[in-house]
Amino acid sequence: MKIVVSHDEVVLREQEGDAFLLHVPSGRYFGLNRSGLVIWQAVLDGRDPLEALAERWPDVPAERRQADADALITALVGAGLAQAVEDRPGS
């Protein structure tokens, strides 16, 4: 399973240490905390969010990182900010 973002539909803005997402089709706004921003940027870069979290917070237990990533990705997909797509050979 791969998580993808439509760049035309979601706008990120960082301000004063906070991060915000705009879902353009609905006009809804969302906030991201620090770990959420790391996960979001990893998704944008096509990287594994777990690896990005491990680089940023190596001392945090792997189970906690996994739970954070799962929770955020579920929320992002639920809000229409990202889509889960099947990995295809060669893609």
Q: Does 11 bind other proteins (CB under 8 A)?
A: yes
Give the sheet arrangement for strand 10-15, strand by strand: 10-15, 18-23, 28-32
Residue 60 DSSP one-character state: S
Q: Does 64 bind other proteins (CB under 8 A)?
A: no
Q: Does 31 bind other proteins (CB under 8 A)?
A: yes
Q: Does 91 bind other proteins (CB under 8 A)?
A: no
Q: Does 5 bind other proteins (CB under 8 A)?
A: no
**What DSSP letter does each residue of 69-84 carry, written as one string?**
HHHHHHHHHHTTS-EE
Which positions lie near other proteins, rule CB under 8 A?
A: 11, 13, 15-18, 20, 22-24, 26-31
